[in-house]
Amino acid sequence: MSPYTLAMAVRPILRYPDPRLRQSSAPVTEFGDALRPLVADMGETMFAAEGAGLAAIQVGEPLRLFIVDAAVAGRAETDPPVVFANPELVKLSEEAQTGDEGCLSFPGVFVPVKRAMRATIKAQDIEGNWFEMEGSELLARAFQHESDHLTGRLLIDMVGPVKREIIKRKMKKEAAAAAET
């Protein structure tokens, strides 16, 4: 039975400067049926927001857990998102890539960020089984970006002071607009 037959719900995505995004997440200790509802909600939320990846803390759950869109992870587009629980980046290439990076917690913000071109990650799947995956380009970027979320590191930390101010102002304006409606 597919875990995706469970009732799913789109959850609100925390936006910068929500202080919860700065939290360090705790290890995932329960897998299988205990983890499935959260993972299903995260998948639905990521899909609705058209994201490539989503960390649990972005829906307010401080767990060392993120998902990556199946197509980004090299699987069929119709596959469920790939689950990475308790992930560790075990290898980063010296070769770098610089490209525009976005984050569902910073809607509308895309900034050039330098990342390793290739990354190898070790993680547990939804059942708790360890696996390793190597990614390059966009997938390597997703591994690095989502791993940063687990220690409260955000897109805005990756840019210089001028761009940081611009992003802060934009996010404040959006928060004020959202509060009015």
Residues that bind Zn ion (CB under 5 A): 103
Least gap, CB of 127 to Zn ion (angstroms):
25
Least gap, CB of 138 to Zn ion (angstroms):
14
User: Which residue, chain included where needed, has tokens 């075990």?
Assistant: 90
The CA-based dihedral angle spanning residues 44, 11, 165, 176, taken in that order and rounded to the nearest 10 degrees: 130
Q: If we measure between CA atoms, which residue out of 11, 20, 78, 13 comes closest to residue 41?
A: 11
Exactly one of 30, 61, 146, 180 is catalytic; which is it? 146
Least gap, CB of 119 to Zn ion (angstroms):
16
Catalytic annotation present for 44? no
Nearer to Zn ion, 32 or 99 (CB): 99
Nearer to Zn ion, 31 or 115 (CB): 115
Nearer to Zn ion, 128 or 153 (CB): 153
- Active-site residue numbers? 146
